[in-house]
A = this chain, B = another copy of it.
Amino acid sequence: MELEFLGTGAGSPAKSRNVSSVALKLLEEINEIWLFDVGEGTQHQILRTTIKPRKISKIFITHLHGDHLFGLPGFLSSRSFQGAQKNEPLVIFGPRGIADFVKTSMRVSQSKLSYPIKFVELTQDGLIFENSRFRVYAAHLNHRIECFGYRIEEKDYPGELLVDKLIAAQVPSGPLYGQLKAGKKVTLADGRVLDGRDYLGETRKGRIIAILGDTRQTPAIAKLAQNADVLVHESTFGRGEAHLAHDYYHSTCMEAAQCALRCQVKQLFLTHISARYVGIQALQLAKDASKVFPKTKVVKDFDVFTVPFPTRKRGVHS
C-alpha cells in the first residue's frame, strides 16, 4: 500500500506543484489503484510515474472545484485510448453534479469510452464502499461548496495457522486445518476438541488512511481521521493565518497539526500548498506544524510513501 502524490498545489497549477490528485496504490492488496481528485494535468503527471491508467478502478472526488476536477474528462479519455477493457469498469464517487459534468464532457466531445463508468453521487455521511479487503467511509467537510473527506479502512488480516504448534500437538494435517484456520472448533478422531483460535498467530491490523478535501476545521474530520495511520490534510494557509483560512474555507498548517494530534494519527501529510509558499517557505509550514505534531511532512508532487502496518494493537490470540 502506497500513497503517490500527483498534485500538491492549491487553486491554480504552478511550475512546481500541479493541482490536486493523490493515488492510493493497492497493487499488492487488490491489484488496483484508487485516485483521489483529478485536477487538470493529472494524466500528464501519471505519464511520469509507473501508474497504469487501466489499473485505476475507482476515483473519489472530494469536491467539484476546478482544481480537483478538471483533469477528469481527459483522464477518462486517455484511460480508454490506452486500452482499458469493457471488463475494467471505473467507479466515480463524488458530490452531486459529478455525473452531469462527466456526461456533458463526454457527450460534447463525442468521446466513446471503451469501459463502463458507474457514478456514485454522495449525499450523506457513512459507508460508501466495501469489499473483502476494504471499507470506505465518506463525511461532509466544511468548504465553500459541498466537499467530502474519505476514510479508507483495510480489514484486519487473520492470523496465520500455527502449523508447528499443530504438529507438536500431533494433530494430523488434512481438511481440518482449514477449519482451524477459520477459527472454528473441531473434534479430532481421538476425541480431543481443539479451538482454532488457539492455533492462530497474531492478527495483523489493517491500515487506515484518511484523505480530506479542502476544509475548515469541523467535527466531521475526527470521524474520518481517528487513529488513522496516515492523514492527508490540506494546508492552504500558514501559521497566524487562521482568520484568512476561515474566510476562505480552508485550514492552516497548525490546525492540521492540532487535528492530527487530537485524532491520534500516526503520520500527517500536508498538501494543497499555495503558490505563496515556495521552497523554504513550504518547509516552514512543516516546521511550524511539527511543533504541535512531530510526524508532519509537506508533500511534493511525485512523493511516494509506503503505508506501514500499525503496531499499536496486537492480536488477542498471539
User: A: which residues have CB within 8 A of B?
Assistant: 11-15, 18-19, 40-41, 43-44, 47-48, 64-67, 69-71, 73-74, 77-78, 81-82, 97-98, 100-101, 104-105, 108-111, 144-145
In the assembled complex, the Cα of A204 lies from the Cα of B258 at a distance in Å of 69
Q: Is the CB of B66 within 8 A of A111?
A: yes
Q: State whether B15 touches A48 (Cβ < 8 A).
A: yes
Nearest B-chain residue to A43, judged by Cβ = B13
B110 touches A71 (CB 8 A): no
A–B Cβ pairs within 8 angstroms, 23 of them: A11-B81, A12-B43, A12-B82, A13-B43, A13-B44, A13-B78, A15-B47, A15-B48, A40-B41, A40-B44, A40-B71, A40-B74, A41-B44, A64-B108, A64-B109, A65-B111, A66-B74, A66-B77, A66-B105, A69-B109, A70-B109, A98-B108, A101-B108
Contact of A77 among B12, B43, B77 (CB under 8 A): B12
Residues in B neighbouring A69, C-beta threshold 8 A: 108-109
Which B residue's beta carbon lies closest to that of A73? B70
A148 to nearest B CB, angstroms?
A: 15
Considering the complex, give the chain B residue whose CB is closest to the CB of A78.
B12
Q: How far is the CB of A132 from chain B (nearest CB, A)?
A: 34
Task: State which of B14, B15, B43, B66 has its C-beta within 8 Å of the C-beta of A109.
Answer: B66
- The listed residue (B74, B81, B98) touching A70 by CB distance below 8 A is B74
Check if A64 sits within 8 Å of B11, measured CB to CB: no
Closest 9 CB pairs of A and B: A40-B74, A104-B104, A101-B108, A70-B74, A66-B109, A97-B108, A12-B78, A66-B77, A41-B41
Question: Which residues of B are found within 8 Å of A81, using beta-carbon distances?
Answer: 11-12
Q: Which of A48, A73, A145 has the most CB of B within 10 A?
A: A73
State whether B104 touches A100 (Cβ < 8 A). yes
Residues of B within 8 A of A40 (CB): 40-41, 43-44, 70-71, 73-74
A75 CB, nearest partner CB in chain B, Å: 9
**Which B residue's beta carbon lies closest to that of A144?**
B110
Interface contact A14-B70, CB-CB below 8 Å? no
Cα distance A73–B102 in the bound complex, in angstroms: 13
| Chain B nearest CB, measured from A52 CB (Å) | 14
